[in-house]
Amino acid sequence: QVQLLESGGGSVQTGGSLRLSCAASGLTFSNYAVGWFRQAPGKEREFVAAVSRGGSGIDYADSVKGRFTISRDNARNTVIMQMNSLNPEDTAVYYCAVRYATASKAEYGYRHWGRGTQVTVSS
């Protein structure tokens, strides 16, 4: 059974940082690209960042470029997303998801999802 567990969310003030983790189990992790998505209250879920199977292919939403950094450790079945210079627009539930083979900005193809971790940024 595939399980994805996000952690590291919390409440910070504008300009603060958080480090989200996504721990995967029940799959051959190195066969899957990993994406982070987020959903703010009253809004649709949106793409944040993705990393390829080997870690060399990385993509970000324009809104987080230069502030967020995604990385993965296949030996530990973990993906990390370092979030700096947070602002209130980053407030959302953050989800990690896995997609077999290639990464994508679209939700289509991401077969397994975590339950999410809340990030709240106050002004």
pLDDT digits (tens, 9 = 90+) for 18-67: 999 999 999 999 999 999 999 999 999 999 999 999 999 999 999 999 99
Predicted local distance difference test score (pLDDT) of residue 40: 97
Backbone phi and psi for residue 31, each to the nearest 5 degrees, phi listed first: -90, -5
Tell me the average pLDDT across 5-18.
Answer: 98
At residue 98, the 3 state secondary structure works out as: strand
31-42 per-residue burial string, b: 16 or more CB within 10 A, e: under 16: ebbbbbbbeeee
Residue of 81, 34, 69, 27 lying closest to 53 (CA atoms): 34
- The distance from CA 4 to its chain's CA centroid, rounded to whole angstroms, is 11
What band does 106 get if pLDDT is binned at 50, 70 and 90?
very high
